Structure 1
Amino acid sequence: MDNILQEGVVALISGMGIVFLVLILIAIIIWLFKFIQQPQEKVIEVVPAQVTTHEEEQQTDDLELIAVITAAIAAQLDTSTDKLQVKSFRKIGSNRSRW
């Protein structure tokens, strides 16, 4: 009985020793991770390209057309453009060969 008790104590101590050694080894490995340099992420600045759609061009053309019409009416009436306001306009045909 004395021999079985000694073997049990030796197994207990060796088992606990192995567990603690493995835990210490894991702690050291985790501690070493802070010394591993991680690759730096490259920062790429994305500048959106200015894309003009047909609607934006049409709106710009319409605004220019309104400005020209307003200036022509102001010149005809001999007044300034701040007193005139073009509320709406509509295009009549795009064929210029009539004139």
Structure 2
Amino acid sequence: MKEQHDNKMEAQETQKKEELYSLAKKRMTDFIKTNYKEIERIDYTNDYEVNPMGGIEINGYLNGNVKKEIWGIYDKGNNKIISFTVDAIEKPECEDKICEY
């Protein structure tokens, strides 16, 4: 019975992480498309990491070019990307501040 309970708990935890990753990808996509020019496509890798504070680190690349890397940390509590690196050109109105997304 303990093994069944442990398996159930592990499955629930995995589902929560996958839901968080899905939300993080959506918010990162919104962030990038709002703040950067010439974004046609965003591809995410599956090597995400959930930190103990509840944020999730995501990685990917732009426009099918693996050299155009993106990286960010999504903070679920604030529903924002709190740290990021995007290999793209910022939109002029978003150069001095992060535009709302």
- Scaled by the length of structure 2, the TM-score of the pair is 0.35
Relative to its length, the structure with more strand (as a share) is: 2
Greater relative contact order (CA < 8 Å, ≥ 6 in sequence) = 2
Over alpha carbons, which structure has the higher Rg? Answer: 1
- Scaled by the length of structure 1, the TM-score of the pair is 0.36
Relative to its length, the structure with more helix (as a share) is: 1
